[in-house]
């Protein structure tokens, strides 16, 4: 199954800006990989909360639509809230 997430590039980086994003219902994330510059992104929490429940989400390529360009990625790590059903941060690698 293929998954697609619409994201925007992030310019502000740090704990404070990440907290503001989470409070606004967004998830901070980063895309990194060998030979490419890391890209900080943000996307809506509602876009990932349901699709991350599928087991093949973690093993298949995901398409991130970043500023009109499609980028193929894989989930590397995901940080969740301790007791709420919230995603706090996602690390993606270039596929």
List pLDDT tens digits, range 17-76. Answer: 999 999 999 999 999 998 899 999 999 999 898 888 888 888 999 999 998 899 999 999
CA distances in angstroms from 55 to 14, 21, 30, 60, 88, listed in the order given: 30, 26, 21, 9, 19
CB contact at 8 A, 54 and 37 = no
Q: Give the pLDDT confidence score for residue 67 in this predicted structure.
A: 85
Mean pLDDT, residues 83-94: 93
Residue 31's nearest CA partner among 1, 5, 68 is 5
Q: Give the pLDDT confidence score for residue 19 in this predicted structure.
A: 93
Mean pLDDT, residues 3-7: 92
- Scanning the chain, the segments in alpha helix (DSSP H) are 15-23, 46-49
pTM: 0.89
């Amino acid at each position: 199954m293929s998954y697609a997430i619409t994201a925007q590039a992030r310019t502000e980086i740090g704990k404070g800006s990440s907290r503001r994003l989470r409070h606004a219902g967004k998830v901070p994330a980063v895309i990194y990989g060998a030979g490419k510059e890391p890209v900080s992104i943000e996307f809506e929490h509602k876009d990932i909360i349901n699709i991350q429940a599928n087991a093949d989400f973690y093993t298949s390529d995901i398409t991130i639509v970043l500023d009109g360009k499609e980028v193929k990625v894989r989930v590397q790590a995901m940080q969740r809230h301790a007791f709420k059903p919230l995603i706090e941060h996602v690390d993606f690698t270039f596929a």
